[in-house]
Structure 1
């Protein structure tokens, strides 16, 4: 695999049973590159090892005053120099290739996993951890894969040099052959402590980075409450802890480096003293002593690779563990059995009994906002991720349990707990679209069939044209989507901020996560993006929570008009939106308990009325203790809007609905 061939057409299926197993799989996946690097490394190390022999011949030729031998020794040195240059160049080239391709493979695996799990990923793994794995940890993993083949070449070179010295001059070669393994293994007792200190440093650095990111993201709020100094003090303490941990880690690695310098120095001194004694007694020649001394000196270079591989492994092992924590999550154990054809029909959840008929605008009311978010994700096939057998991290704790086949089973369906199955029961049945289980569809087809927009959508940086350039059916244009989402004021703001002379809002750049826009503007732009895709079924979680009541009425009407004839599900408790829906479903205690028109449910269903009108305690009280409200006829006059209002959203009951009809 060459860099020009990236990205991989298929990065493969990683071994996520543990961090070391993942590193082993990654190394074996690039076996061809590893072998090339090993070959060039052996050429380089072998040429370096041959230099002492050539230098020894040259010294002996000078002593013997042999011009012919000196010429041959000079030619040998030149040839070895060429081989050293070639080997070193190609070794560096192949090693860097291994590093980059390994990092690219891990990044592709993470990107594929993120796309597979969607929003369910960040509920089990922090978004900051995913970013850390895909940036810093990827580099450390690539470093170990790159150093692995160079270490293997160095180890083989040590074996060859020691064997050659024993055969060339046994009296000194045996001393070198005995000392080299001692030098190579001398730092092993120090590595566990150095690894622990390095892990502690990275952990503290990650906490400090997370604290800094949170502080920057909430800087406006901190200034509003005067909390800058408080968080600044916290960051100072965190950064000082990182500094102290880094110093302690550096001291241990400095000790390892000192051992790597001190022990070879002792070997060289002993070798020179013993060799000089043998040369003085006439048992060896001067050229042989120079050869052995030069070879022992050059042994220090491959020995350095032992220290490097130890450092690379100590840094990459926790990085691999974090990567495994993400990669071990999976969406479902069910194989994709259907083709890429997008099914059509009703959207039905057999767990809750929620039915969204094809072509209708269905509003869903949940007393628990968290339950609404989980149900919205479930309708889109975004099941909670679970760990593969033998994986680490996820699956050990959390709001969900794992079924026998590795798929997700939520907590038991108790009052107010959401949907799920009892622990140890078979996996939850999949949501059906036109009678076809979403879990049986290929991931891309399922995503194209049902699109879920959560309550906190993300806007990527770029121009508005880039933001709206998404895969779509081509039926809904950008102008239609923006008009339905009531984005006229957003376009005006972007026009004023446009750097171009024509003031085209489509070419105006939107900052990261849309921070230059208000919450309501971001929400409406994200809604327009979802409307452009025009999926078979569109699921919206609180699509108008950040806008005022007048804008909300127009947005709800725009959604209903643009999505007419298409299946749309909106989770909301706003009477303005509920009154414009074709059908309203009340989900209570993890089950769909009532369905009908907004006004009928408001009149006949106390639990529904309690959620919509923001009453407290009624929805959780037993039926015998509920106080029924006096039914109001469908043509009742609007109630007094100046009395009986509760904090929060003020648009309630049938009067608000009639106001919506007038504005629409």
Structure 2
């Protein structure tokens, strides 16, 4: 693999059992590049190892006054110099190639996993950790892969030099051969402590990075509430902790480097003293002493690679562990086994008992916004963060009696009053039936994973990723608009049934189109060709939200899940958007998480989620009249035990909102 061949057509299936196993898999995946670097490294190191012999021959030729011997020694030195230059150049080229291609492979794996998990990734891994893995950790992993081949070449060169010295001059070669393992392994006792200090530094740096990213993301809000200085002080303290940890880590690595300099120096002093004694007694020649001394001096360079590989591994191992933590995540409990066909039918969540009948507009009311976000992710086929194993007792195939989907009964239910759906969390028998506690946590000794959402009776985590995304589309409450023209924004994979104009009309984007037409640089003022800045910063919050909604409507999925799709618009626009979405999605399954009476009154079916279960379902007006918990969320009631007069007042206010919604709906229908 060359740099010009990037990106990989397939980065492979990594070994994510542990950080070291991932590093091993990464090295084996680039075996060809590693062998190339090893070959060039051996050429370079062996050429360097041959220099002392040539220098010794030259010195001995001068002592013996041999012109031919000096000429041969000079020619050998020139030849070795050429080999050293070629080997060093190609070694650097192949090593850097291994570094870049390894980093690119890891980045592609992370990008593939990010696309697979979607918005659920940041719910399961901290955003700061994801940033750290995709930036600094990738470089450290690439460094280890790059240093591995150079270390192997250096180790082979050291063995070759030691064997050659023993054969060339046993009296001094044995001393060098015995000293080299000591020099190479002397720092091993210090490496665990240095690694621990480096881990502490990286942990504190990751915390500081996460704190900084969170602060920047919420800077506007922090300024509004006067908390900017508070968070700035927290970041100052975190950065000082990083600095102190870095100094402690640097001290240990400085000690290791000092030992790497001290011990070879002691070896050279002992070698010169003992060799000079032998040469004075006439037991060895001066050229032989020069040869051994030069070889021992040049051995210091290969020994440096032992320190480098130790540092590279100690830095890359926790980085690889963090990468493994991200790459080991999966979108579901099981691997995809179903055919790549988009199923049709009711959308059903066996965990909460939520049922969205096919072809209907279902609204979901949750008192906890975080719970609504998690449920929306589940409806999109994403696994829960706790990663529990499948229920062998059959929790993945619920029956109608247990709260499962029953299409015939669903279509014929009386929705005039609220219907109780699924077991109530307060019912102790429910906990015994599914083998979990009242909080949904598996019992002792059990390893369970929450069952997948079903679409038409097919588990979404059994579908291939492409089919699952085509079947169910989840729009987050804070959707992102990429930079580009409006035409490019709406040019997304779709069924082709819904046009861009129809989607924009349903999302009530008329004022957005007018604003884009005025900002257009073209003479015709076509808003479709007007460029939208990064993340839609040139638009208001409501305009961004409606454009994102239009983009979701264009895709025309089998089931569309919207998390607070009208939270940033005014009441009048909200009613028109809800009516437009319902009209455009006729015959398709739509689920909207909202607590707005204007949207809820237009829904065909409303479900109330409380305590992680659907506790009631029916029409908005029936639930408002008969379900106190629903009324508390929708009307913002703060006390369930409020006086009847206060409750009546809340009901009258809610009725006014319903009347307004009905009036807005009738106005829209007349215009349509």
TM-score of the two chains, using structure 1 as the length reference? 0.87
Quote the offset at 1:306 in angstroms: 0.7
After superposing the two structures, state which structure 1 stretch, 465-474 or 510-519, moved more: 510-519
Partner of 1:391: none
Contact 2:176 2:296 in 1 (8 A): yes
- Of 394, 412, 425 in structure 2, the residue corresponding to residue 414 of structure 1 is 425
2:88 match: 88
Alignment correspondent of 1:634? none
SS of 2:106's partner is: helix
Provide Cα deviations, 1:71-107, integer angstroms capped at 9, x if missing partner: 2222222221222122112211221121112112211
- The 1:312/1:504 distance shift into structure 2, 3 A limit, reads farther
Aligned to 2:662: 657
Give, in angstroms, the shift of residue 204 of structure 1: 2.5
| Alignment match, 2:412 | none
The CA distance in 2 between the partners of 1:345 and 1:230, in whole Å, is 51
Counting only pairs closer than 5 Å after superposition, residues 189-200 of structure 1 correspond to structure 2 as 189-200=189-200
Answer yes or no: is 1:109 the counterpart of 2:109.
Answer: yes
User: Matches of 2:70 and 2:656 in 1, distance apart?
Assistant: 101
Contact 1:384 1:408 in 2 (8 A): no
Q: Is the 8 A contact 1:352 1:419 kept in 2?
A: no
Distance of aligned partners of 1:225 and 1:578 in 2 relative to their CA distance in 1, 3 Å threshold? closer
> How many Å apart are 1:70 and its aligned residue?
2.1
2:209 maps to 209
Secondary structure of 1:382's aligned partner? coil
**2:38 is the counterpart of 1:2:** no
Instruction: Call closer, same or farther: CA 1:131–1:418 in 2, change over 3 Å.
Output: farther
> Is structure 2 residue 182 aligned with structure 1 residue 177?
no
Unaligned ranges ≥5, structure 1: 387-394, 396-400, 631-638
Q: Distance in 1 between matches of 2:326 and 2:554?
A: 31
In the aligned structure 1, how far is the partner of 2:606 from the partner of 2:246?
A: 58
The within-5 A match list for 1:439-478 is 439-478=461-500
Alpha-carbon distance in 2 for matches of 1:80, 1:500: 66
Residues 1:413 and 1:182: Cα distance change in structure 2 (over 3 Å): farther
Residue 553 of structure 1 pairs with residue 575 of structure 2: yes
Aligned partners of 1:198 and 1:315 also within 8 Å = yes
Question: How far is 1:218 from its partner?
Answer: 2.9
Residue 445 of structure 1 deviates from its aligned partner by: 0.5
Alignment of 1:34-49 (within 5 A): 34-49=34-49
For 1:367, the equivalent position in structure 2 comes to 367
Given the superposition, is the C-alpha separation of residues 250 and 503 from structure 1 closer, same or farther in structure 2, using an over 3 Å criterion? Answer: farther
Contact kept? 2:389, 2:447, Cα under 8 Å: no
In 2, are the aligned partners of 1:449 and 1:535 still within 8 Å (CA)? Answer: yes
Residues of 2 paired with 1:345 and 1:470: CA distance? Answer: 24
Q: Residue 308 of structure 1 corresponds to which residue in structure 2?
A: 308
Q: C-alpha displacement at 1:307, in angstroms?
A: 0.8
Q: Is the 8 A contact 2:172 2:292 kept in 1?
A: yes
TM-score (norm 2): 0.86
Question: Partners of 1:612 and 1:449 in 2: how far apart?
Answer: 30
SS of 1:15 mapped into structure 2: coil
Contact 2:127 2:210 in 1 (8 A): no
Q: Is the 8 A contact 2:424 2:615 kept in 1?
A: no
Q: Flag the 1:656–1:331 CA change in 2: closer, same or farther, 3 A.
A: closer
Question: Which residue in 2 is equivalent to 1:78?
Answer: 78
Aligned ranges for residues 368-517 of structure 1 at < 5 Å? 368-385=368-385, 401-403=388-390, 414-415=425-426, 422-423=442-443, 424=446, 427-497=449-519, 504-517=526-539
Task: Compare 501-510 and 310-319 and name the one that shifted more.
Answer: 501-510
Aligned to 2:299: 299
For the aligned residue pairs, the C-alpha RMSD in angstroms reads 3.1
Q: Distance in 1 between matches of 2:448 and 2:197?
A: 44
Shift of 1:303: 0.5
1:609 Cα deviation after fit: 3.4
Deviations 1:145-164 (A, max 9, x none): 11111111101110110110
The whole-number CA distance in structure 1 between the counterparts of 2:209 and 2:612 is 39
- Report if the CA contact (8 A) 1:549-1:651 is conserved: no
Structure 1 residue matching 2:200: 3-state secondary structure: helix
